[in-house]
A = this chain, B = another copy of it.
C-alpha cells in the first residue's frame, strides 16, 4: 500500500509538503498542492490511520461498551451513538459485555490498549477494576443508561419514575391490586432504581410489595421465565407482573403461556423498555419507553465535549408510558396514560 513517501516522490516534493496538503495547511503553493493531489489520485493513496494516531496521540474513535447486543434497546442505542459520532467525525468500536463483568473488562482493556479517545459505558455490574482505573486515570468517559455511584463521570440516562407512577396508576385503575416485579441485578443502577420507583408508586396507592413479589432477574429472558414461574406457584399469584426490561418480559410471556394461561385475562404484564416488537406480540405489551435515540446522541455529545476540552454535563431525559393491551382494556376505552395532572415528565 502506498505511503506518504511514495506520494512525495511521485509529486516531486517532500513528505512535509504532502502532509501539509492533506491537512489543509495554508502555506503550500497552488502548484505543489495540485501536484500532490494528482499523485494521491494516481497512487490511490490513503493515509495510514495507525501511523497518524501514533504521532498525534488521538484516534478519533469512541469505545462503546454495552451490556447485551441481543437486546433491541441496546442495539438501538448503539445505532444512534454511531450516527451521532459519525456526524462529529468519530468512529465507534462496540464491545458487547453480554452482562458478564469479565467480558466487560476484556473490552475496556482492549479499547484502552487501542487508545480510543473516549469511552461510553453502560456498566454491567457495580464496578469492574479496569473501568474504575480508567475513570480515575482521567480517560474521557460517560456512562449511558446505567452508572456507578461515587464515580465522577457524567451520566446520560432516562428517568423512569414518572412513567412508573403512571403505570401503577393505570394498573390501579384497571383494578389490579396484587402487583409483582421482576427486578434487574441489584448491582446495576437500573436494576435497583426501577424497583425503588415501583415500590414508591405502590406506596402512593397504599399497595404493599412483599418480598415474595419481588423476583430477582438478570435482564435475560430465561430469568424472566424462572421468576414468573415462581410467581405463578405462589398461593396467591399476582395480578400483574412488571418486568424491568424487555427480555425478561419475553421470558415472562413464555412462562405464562406454558401454563396455558392468558395475558391479560389471567395475569397482566408490563415491561420497562419499549421496543418495536411489543406492538406485534400477543397481546401487545404495555411498556415504558425511553427516548433511546436522544440518549445515544446526548451521550456522544457529552463525551466529545469532554474529549475536546469542554465540560460535558450529565443529562436526564424523561421516559413515558405506552399503554397497550397486556394489562387489560382501559375501562374508558381510551389508551391514554392516566396521569392525574398534565406532568411534562410523562405525557407530552
User: Chain A residues in contact with chain B, CB under 8 A?
Assistant: 1, 44, 46-51, 53-54, 59, 69-70, 72, 75-76, 78-79, 82, 86, 91, 93-94, 96, 106, 109-110, 112-115, 133, 137, 221, 250, 253-254, 276-277, 279-284
Contacts and interface: CB of A to CB of B under 8 A. Distances in A.
B93 A93 contact: yes
Contacts of A59: 50
Q: Which residue, of A109, A137, A253, A277, has the highest number of chain B Cβ atoms within 10 A?
A: A277
A82 B277 CA distance: 25
B113 A96 contact: no
Q: How many identical chains are in the complex?
A: 2
A82 B253 CA distance: 30
- Closest A-B pairs by Cβ, 6 of them: A282-B282, A49-B113, A277-B277, A280-B281, A49-B114, A50-B53
A329 to B, nearest CB: 16
27 contacts: A44-B133, A46-B109, A46-B112, A46-B113, A48-B115, A49-B115, A50-B54, A50-B114, A51-B54, A69-B75, A70-B72, A70-B76, A70-B79, A72-B72, A82-B96, A93-B93, A94-B94, A221-B276, A250-B277, A250-B280, A254-B279, A254-B280, A277-B277, A280-B281, A281-B282, A282-B283, A282-B284
A109 B59 CA distance: 15
Given A113-B48, A281-B282, A282-B281, A75 B70 contact: yes
Contacts of A76: 70
A325 B94 CA distance: 37
A324 to B, nearest CB: 12
A279 B115 CA distance: 43
A101 B250 CA distance: 34
Contact of A78 (B69, B112, B280): B69
Contact of A282 (B79, B110, B280): B280
A47 B96 contact: no
Nearest to A285: B280
Contacts of A282: 280-284
Contacts of A284: 282
Contacts of A46: 109, 112-113
A93 B113 CA distance: 15
Contacts of A91: 93, 110, 114
